[in-house]
């Protein structure tokens, strides 16, 4: 199966070199495909772990605060410890799903307009 995929990618790249130049500036999907695939692959490999860490951190804080508000325990230290017991696992799980979807979406959406840009690597809205 990997040999077929490699043959398909090689044929797409070979097809791109045979296409005529577009004088009016319009390009078809086939012309952008090799560049878009390379940008998507790089954005996925680099941007998805960045999005995973960022979303997991955001979700950990959000889920722990939500669990603390739902708990109703008034001693502050005991309330945060019990809230962290429920908030940390749910924050890690929701952060992983959020980061995976954000990383893939950022790399695919931005692979056409701004390939290899900071938006493609999930670095556009830093909120640490």
Q: What is the pLDDT of residues 61-96, one digit of tens each?
A: 888 888 877 766 566 666 777 777 888 888 888 889
Q: Is 98 domain-assigned?
A: yes
pLDDT at residue 15 greater than cutoff 70: no
Q: Is 82 domain-assigned?
A: yes
Q: What is the pLDDT of residues 20-54, one digit of tens each?
A: 655 555 556 666 778 888 888 888 888 889 889 88
Q: Is 63 domain-assigned?
A: yes
Mean pLDDT over 10-22 rounds to: 64
Report how many domains make up the chain: 1
Quote the Cα angle for 36-16-35, to 5°: 15
pLDDT of residue 108: 87
Q: Is 42 domain-assigned?
A: no
3-state DSSP assignment of residue 98: helix
- pTM for the complete prediction? 0.66
Cα(16)–Cα(34) distance, rounded to whole angstroms? 8
């Amino acid at each position: 199966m990997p040999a077929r995929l490699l043959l398909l990618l090689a044929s797409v790249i070979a097809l791109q070199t045979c296409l005529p130049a577009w004088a009016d500036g319009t390009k078809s999907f086939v012309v952008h495909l090799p560049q878009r695939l390379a940008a998507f692959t790089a954005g996925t490999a680099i941007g998805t772990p960045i999005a995973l860490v960022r979303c997991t951190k955001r979700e950990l804080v959000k889920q722990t605060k939500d669990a603390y508000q739902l708990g109703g325990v008034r001693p502050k230290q005991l309330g945060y410890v019990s809230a962290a017991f429920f908030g940390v696992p749910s924050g890690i799980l929701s952060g992983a799903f959020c980061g995976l979807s954000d990383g893939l979406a950022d790399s695919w959406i931005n692979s056409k307009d701004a390939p290899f840009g900071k938006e493609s690597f999930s670095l556009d809205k830093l909120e640490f």
